[in-house]
Structure 1
Amino acid sequence: MIKAVVFDVDDTLYDQKAPFEAALAPILGLPSEVDLNTTFQAYRQQSHQAYAHVINGHWSEQEMAVKRLNTALLAQHLPAVDAQSALNFEEAYTAGLADIKLFPGLSTALDSLSQQYQLGILTNGNTQFQLAKVMQLQMHRWIDREAIVTSEEVGLAKPDPQIFTLMNRRLNLRASEVAYVGDCYSMDVRASKQAGWQSFWFNHRDLEEPDGQWVPDQTVTDPLELQDLLLALTTIPEA
């Protein structure tokens, strides 16, 4: 039986694509209305891989900023940018993240969930940056600091199942008693299932399952569906 619901942060609690596009379009000399969805997805994939290099001490934060952007651009057959342009993008993107808001419906769902379940956050990334997003989203209304785990803080990163096991200990629960909500199949669905958790896939970018080996327990495709799923959990009688 589920006793806790744990959330990813980026593109799960808020729309990460909007500040990304707003920051990148001027750097590339593109009009703001150009759809950079494929570049955004490539960037996110590079971010997942880049965090491991930072945690292992292979890259500095600045090296990561430059390499992950240019790798994403080249993967989409777009020209690479110089280091200063990449850092300018990073600065503009970070500034945009200061104005993020929860997806519609999440606040209502969290109000109800917090009355019945432990809530937590498990996210890859720099602790300072991720906590700043958590505060901007006002997640502290529902989640204590002890229930927030970042990859930098613990020296582990998704998709390593060990970071989920560490979260079990933070919550003092068995793996089968925790559900994870995330937007990325490989980092969130597959990794949490491998750790023995239930997995709710917030697939609002209409992505395909890369292998289909690990099937999410629930899949929703827009914020209102996610709200309905979370609210449905509150109608389950407590044991």
Structure 2
Amino acid sequence: MIKAVVFDVDDTLYDQKAPFVAALRTQLQLPADYDLDPIFQSYRQQSMQAYAEVSSGRWSREEMAVNRLNIALQQQNLPGVTTAQALDFEQAYTHGLNHIELFPGLKTALDRLHAQFQLGIITNGKTQHQLAKVMRLQMHRWIDREAILTSEDAGVEKPDPQIFTMMNRRLGLRASEVAYVGDCYSMDVKAAKKAGWHAFWFNHRNLEIPDGEWIPDQTVGNASELQDLLLALSAVSEF
């Protein structure tokens, strides 16, 4: 029986692509209908490695901004940007992230879930940076600080199953009693399932499952379907 629901943050609670696209269009001269999703996905996939390069001292913060964006562009056979352009993009993207909002319907679902389940967050990233997003999204209305676990807090990061095991101890629950909601198959679904959790895949980017080894318990394709899933979960627990 599920007793807790734990969420990813980036591109699960809010639309991370919208501020990325808005910032990138200020720097690239591309047709209005040009699909920027592959660049966005590539940029996101580099997150762990990029921050590792900074933490190790191999890259400065400025070098990370330049290299991370140019790698994503080059993977799509697009010309790179200058240092000034990369820093302007970073500034615009950061500004956009300062104005994020929950996906439609999540407030209603969280109100219902909060009354019946323990709620939590597991997210990769620097604690201060991720907590700032959590506060902007007003997630503190439903989730206490001790139920928020960042990779910096844990000393390990998704997809390492250990971070999920650490959350088990924080919640005082067995793995089989917890469900995880995330947008990334490998980082969220596969990792949670390997840890023995239930996994709900918020596949609103319409991505393919890269392997058939781990199957999500539920898959939803947009914010409305996610709301319906969470409300249905809360309805079942009432009986």
Q: 1:48 deviation in Å?
A: 3.9
Residue 153 of structure 1: aligned partner = 153
State the alpha-carbon separation in 2 of the partners of residues 169 and 60 from structure 1.
Answer: 36
Shift of 1:68: 1.9
- 1:225 aligns with 225
- Give the TM-score of the pair, scaled to structure 2: 0.93
Residue equivalent to 1:41? 41
Instruction: Report if aligned partners of 1:124, 1:158 keep a CA contact under 8 Å in 2.
Output: yes
SS of the equivalent of 1:77 reads coil
> Secondary structure of 2:46's partner?
helix
State the Cα distance separating 1:32 from its structure 2 match. 5.7
Structure 2 CA distance for aligned equivalents of residues 51 and 210 of structure 1? 25
Q: Look up the equivalent residue of 1:116 and give its one-letter code.
A: Q
Deviation at 1:100, TM superposition (A): 0.9
The root-mean-square deviation of aligned C-alpha atoms, in Å, is 1.8
Residue 127 of structure 2 is matched in structure 1 by: 127
Query: How many matched pairs?
Result: 239
**Counterpart code for 1:136:** R
Letter in 2 for 1:194: K
Alignment deviations for residues 95-145 of structure 1 (CA, whole Å, 9 cap, x no partner): 101111111110000000000001011111122221111111111100011
Deviation for aligned residue 1:31: 5.7
Q: CA 1:51–1:161 in structure 2 vs 1: closer, same or farther (change >3 Å)?
A: farther
2:67 maps to 67
- Aligned residue identity for 1:205: R
Q: How does 1:94-133 map to 2 (within 5 A)?
A: 94-133=94-133
Distance 1:166 1:56, change over 3 A: farther
8 Å CA contact retained: 2:116, 2:237:
no
Shift of 1:66: 2.5
The reply to whether residue 162 of structure 1 matches residue 162 of structure 2 is yes
Q: Give 1:76's aligned residue.
A: 76
Equivalent-residue separation in structure 2 for 1:58 and 1:3 (angstroms): 43
Match of 1:29 in 2: 29
Unaligned runs of 5+ in 1: none
Q: Which shows bigger deviation, 117-126 or 27-36?
A: 27-36
Contact 2:175/2:195 (CA < 8 Å) preserved in 1? yes
Instruction: Give 5+ residue unaligned stretches, structure 2.
Output: none
Give, in angstroms, the shift of residue 59 of structure 1: 4.2
Would you say the 8 A contact 1:181–1:200 is kept in 2? yes
Does 28-37 or 156-165 show the bigger shift? 28-37
Partners of 2:225 and 2:66 in 1: CA distance: 36
Q: Indicate conservation of the 8 Å contact 1:25/1:34, yes or no.
A: no
Q: Report if the CA contact (8 A) 1:100-1:137 is conserved.
A: yes
Tell me, yes or no, if the aligned pair for 1:2 and 1:177 is still in contact at 8 Å. Answer: yes
Answer yes or no: is the 8 Å Cα contact 1:22–1:32 preserved in 2. no
Q: Deviations over 1:29-82 (max 9, x none)?
A: 336664311111111111244344455665444433332212111111111223
Q: Distance in 2 between matches of 1:173 and 1:21?
A: 39
Mapped partners of 1:31, 1:130: distance in 2 = 33
Q: Is the 8 A contact 2:178 2:198 kept in 1?
A: yes
**8 A contact 1:39–1:73 mirrored in 2:** yes
Matched, 1:6 2:6: yes
Residue 121 of structure 1 aligns with an amino acid whose one-letter code is I
Counterpart-to-counterpart distance in 2, 1:99 and 1:32 = 23
In structure 1, what residue type is equivalent to 2:226?
L
Give the conservation status (yes or no) of the 8 Å contact 1:179–1:198.
yes
Instruction: From the superposition, tell whether residues 189 and 54 of structure 1 become closer, same or farther in structure 2 (CA, over 3 Å).
Output: farther
